[in-house]
Structures are given as structure tokens and as C-alpha cells.
């Protein structure tokens, strides 16, 4: 058996929050010794909604620095920027000639995201999952560690790979999603019925991984909960359920273990106070390393260039195989 290939991506579109961290990044870091690892800053995906060019450029560097600070180790993993490897766009075109409109119209994230766009909706937002399939399939990926919101996109990736293989001959490996048990779906602290997201407005929505202890405290203490006192996970009480989910993810336990831990709590205030301490301690090393790394941005740029150089040959090889199989060129 050859080593598993892990691939995942993150949009450089805003401050990374604990949903990104517990849903995805923590798994990326933990699995580094067991596989070939490729992590990608998906700037081309970011462009599917309007972006300020200067801000996007800055956020690519910031996101890369956060990933390194979180423990992505350049000796074990490749880290690169999507647009630096032109095969991503190239393969996306060939896959768009395999995907059907009906298949694409079933993508729920497009429906959600297009509804929240105030101006016009761009074609790239519709074809977003095809570019994501290209990201994954280029590297013969076997595992894709992501949060629960990406499950449908990985299903589509598998469907496209299968359809291609059946039509043109075996070119692609079918990837599996790797979704964590705790932390796969962290909800907004200001509104626990909505997924925590980088783009949501409001300063009490998310705990960002670079937040100071003071800000973490303010945000967690302000988290919306209902009027009950019983610390139990319950769909009718999304606020306390979310606090338990964050606690479980941060301490590496289950929701049931978190409930047992708080069995004697006097109310939600106790849960919040303990959660503040745990989040501050969990994120402290990340914040400290971020400060060190951002003092030398040249190092991060160089690592990204090195990452792109390392992955390019495999990407080229896959696209050449695909072109040949389809009869292009």
C-alpha cells in the first residue's frame, strides 16, 4: 500500500476562527506524520465573490502564516497558493466538460451563497465545486480533512472522478472525506443557528484564532444561550449545545464527556468561564508563533514558492493524462 495523500484547502478571505481550526486545521496538523500532505490557499475560490485586490493579497500571507503558526510543518507538508499552480484552472476546465448542469444545480452551498450576494452572482460561484474537485483530483488525493459543510463537494468530486474514469479510462483516484467527530460544525456565538463563518458581520460572532485573551473572554461571555440551566446538548437549545461542542473539540473529548464534565455546573456562566480558559490556553502558542513568523514575511513567501515547486510536477502529470484520455491537443 502506498502512503495516503491528504489534500485540503482554505480560502484566504478573513480571519481564521475556531470553526476552521477545530473543523479542519487541527486535523491537518495532527495527521502530518501519517501521510503525504498538501495544503492549499485557494485564492481563485476567494475570487468567486467580490474581493478588494490589496486585501486579498494581504490575506493570502496572513492565512499562510496562521497555518504555519498552527503547526503545519514545511518539512512534512507542502503549503502553496492555488493560483501559483496553473494546472488547477486547467483541470477545472476539463472537469467542467464532464459535470452536468443538473449535478451542479444540486449544490446547496451555491444556493446559500448566491442568496447572500447583494449584487450579481458570478458564474465562478456556480462552478466553484468543479475547481475544488480539480484541486483534490490533481494530486491523487486519498483523504480530504474538512468540516461538515464540505461533504457535498467531496461527494461531487467522487462522482466526477467516477464518471471520468468510466468514460475515458482510469485517470483519477477516488478521495474520501475525513470529517472530525467533534468540531465539524461550530456555530456562531451570536446566533447558534448559523454556521460560524469568516464573512459574518458582528464582533461577537466568532472567536478568531489570533484574538487576545481579553477579546476571547468578551466574545465567549456574550455568547447567546437560552434561559435554561441544564447543561445538556439538545437541538432545542443550540446555544449551550454549541458551547459543549467547542469544549469537546478543544479538549479532544466527546459531547457526552463534556456533558458529564459539567454535570454539577451551576449554570451556563460556569461553562463559559471554563471555555474561556481552555480557548485562551489552546490558542496561546499559535498566537505567539504567529508574532514570531510575521516578523519575517520573506520566509513565508519563500515557503509558499517552494511548496508550489514541489507539487507542480504531479499536477502537470495529471493534466497531461486527462488531456490525452479526452483527446485534446
Q: Which residues bind ligand TRP (CB under 6 A)?
A: 7-11, 42, 45, 132, 135-136, 144, 146, 150, 153
Q: Could you confirm whether 76 is annotated as catalytic?
A: no
Per partner kind, with CB cut-offs from 5 to 8 A, the member of ligand AMP, ligand TRP, none near residue 135 is: ligand TRP
Exposed (0-12), middle (13-18) or buried (19+): which is 148, by Cβ within 10 Å?
A: middle
* Closer by beta carbon to ligand TRP, 24 or else 248: 24
- The residue within the footprint of ligand AMP, chosen from 66, 68, 136, 147 (CB under 6 A), is 147
Q: Could you confirm whether 198 is annotated as catalytic?
A: yes
Q: Which of 26, 198, 217, 272 is catalytic?
A: 198
* Closer by beta carbon to ligand TRP, 146 or else 231: 146
Per partner kind, with CB cut-offs from 5 to 8 A, the member of ligand AMP, ligand TRP, none near residue 186 is: ligand AMP
Per partner kind, with CB cut-offs from 5 to 8 A, the member of ligand TRP, ligand AMP, none near residue 20 is: ligand AMP
Q: Report the site for ligand AMP in 24-43 (rule: CB under 6 A).
A: 24
* Closer by beta carbon to ligand AMP, 13 or else 318: 13
Cell readout for 122 is 458570478
Q: Does 244 bind ligand AMP (CB under 6 A)?
A: no
CB count in 10 Å sphere of residue 103? 15
Q: How many chain residues interact with ligand AMP (CB under 6 A)?
A: 17
Q: Report the site for ligand AMP in 176-195 (rule: CB under 6 A).
A: 184-186, 195
DSSP per-residue string spanning 186-245: PBPSS-TTSB--TT--STTS--BTT--HHHHHHHHHT----S-------TT-HHHHHHHH
Distances (CA, A) of 154 to 189, 265, 303, 323: 27, 40, 28, 23
> Is residue 18 a contact partner of residue 24, using CB atoms and an 8 Å limit?
no
Exposed (0-12), middle (13-18) or buried (19+): which is 163, by Cβ within 10 Å?
A: middle
* Closer by beta carbon to ligand AMP, 181 or else 309: 181
Euclidean distance between CA atoms 244 and 192, whole angstroms: 12
Q: Does 19 bind ligand AMP (CB under 6 A)?
A: yes
Q: Which of 76, 113, 273, 323 is catalytic?
A: 113
Q: Which of 26, 111, 194, 195 is catalytic?
A: 195
Q: How far is the CB of 171 from ligand AMP (least distance, A)?
A: 25
**Which residues are within 8 A (CB) of 184 and not within 5 positions of it... i.e. 6 or more apart?**
23, 147, 148
Q: Could you confirm whether 195 is annotated as catalytic?
A: yes
Q: How far is the CB of 181 from ligand TRP (least distance, A)?
A: 19
Euclidean distance between CA atoms 110 and 188, whole angstroms: 20
Q: Does 59 bind ligand AMP (CB under 6 A)?
A: no
β-bridge partners, 37: 6, 77
Q: How far is the CB of 146 from ligand AMP (least distance, A)?
A: 3
Give the nearest residue (CB) to ligand TRP. Answer: 9
Per partner kind, with CB cut-offs from 5 to 8 A, the member of ligand TRP, ligand AMP, none near residue 175 is: none
Side-chain half-sphere CA neighbours of 254 within 13 A: 4
Q: Residue ranges of the alpha helices (H) in the chain?
A: 18-20, 26-30, 43-46, 53-70, 87-96, 101-105, 108-115, 123-138, 151-168, 213-221, 238-251, 255-261, 268-294, 297-326
Per partner kind, with CB cut-offs from 5 to 8 A, the member of ligand AMP, ligand TRP, none near residue 31 is: none
Q: Tell me the three state secondary structure of residue 80.
A: strand
Binding residues for ligand AMP, rule: CB under 6 A, are 10-11, 19-20, 23-24, 146-147, 149-150, 184-186, 195-198
Q: Which positions are annotated as active-site residues?
A: 113, 195, 198
Amino acid at each position: 500500500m502506498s502512503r495516503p495523500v491528504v489534500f485540503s484547502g482554505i480560502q484566504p478571505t478573513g480571519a481564521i476562527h475556531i470553526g476552521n481550526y477545530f473543523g479542519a486545521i487541527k486535523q491537518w496538523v495532527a495527521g502530518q506524520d501519517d501521510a503525504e500532505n498538501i495544503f492549499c490557499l485557494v485564492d481563485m475560490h476567494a475570487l468567486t465573490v467580490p474581493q478588494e485586490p490589496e486585501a486579498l493579497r494581504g490575506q493570502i500571507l496572513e492565512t499562510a502564516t496562521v497555518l504555519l503558526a498552527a503547526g503545519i510543518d514545511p518539512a512534512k507538508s507542502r503549503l502553496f497558493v492555488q493560483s501559483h499552480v496553473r494546472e488547477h484552472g486547467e483541470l477545472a476546465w476539463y472537469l467542467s466538460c464532464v459535470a452536468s448542469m443538473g449535478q451542479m444545480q444540486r449544490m446547496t452551498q451555491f444556493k446559500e451563497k448566491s442568496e447572500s450576494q447583494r449584487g450579481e452572482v458570478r458564474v465562478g460561484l456556480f462552478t466553484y465545486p468543479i475547481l475544488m474537485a480539480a484541486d483534490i483530483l490533481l494530486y491523487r488525493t486519498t483523504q480530504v480533512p474538512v468540516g461538515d459543510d464540505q461533504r457535498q463537494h467531496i461527494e461531487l468530486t467522487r462522482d466526477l472522478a467516477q464518471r471520468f474514469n468510466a468514460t475515458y479510462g482510469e485517470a483519477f483516484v477516488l478521495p474520501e472525506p475525513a470529517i472530525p467527530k467533534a468540531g465539524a460544525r461550530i456555530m456562531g456565538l451570536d446566533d447558534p443557528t448559523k454556521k460560524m463563518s469568516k464573512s459574518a458581520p458582528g464582533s461577537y460572532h466568532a472567536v478568531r484564532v489570533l484574538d487576545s485573551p481579553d477579546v476571547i473572554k468578551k466574545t465567549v461571555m456574550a455568547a447567546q444561550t437560552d434561559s435554561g440551566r441544564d447543561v445538556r446538548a439538545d437541538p432545542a437549545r443550540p446555544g449551550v449545545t454549541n458551547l459543549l461542542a467547542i469544549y469537546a473539540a478543544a479538549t479532544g473529548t466527546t459531547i457526552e464527556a463534556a456533558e458529564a464534565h459539567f454535570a454539577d455546573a451551576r449554570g451556563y456562566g460556569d461553562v463559559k468561564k471554563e471555555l474561556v480558559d481552555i480557548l485562551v490556553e489552546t490558542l496561546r502558542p499559535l498566537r505567539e508563533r504567529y508574532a514570531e513568523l510575521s516578523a519575517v514575511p520573506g520566509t513565508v513567501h519563500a515557503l509558499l514558492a517552494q511548496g508550489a515547486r514541489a507539487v507542480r510536477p504531479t499536477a502537470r502529470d495529471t493534466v497531461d493524462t486527462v488531456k490525452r484520455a479526452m483527446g485534446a491537443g
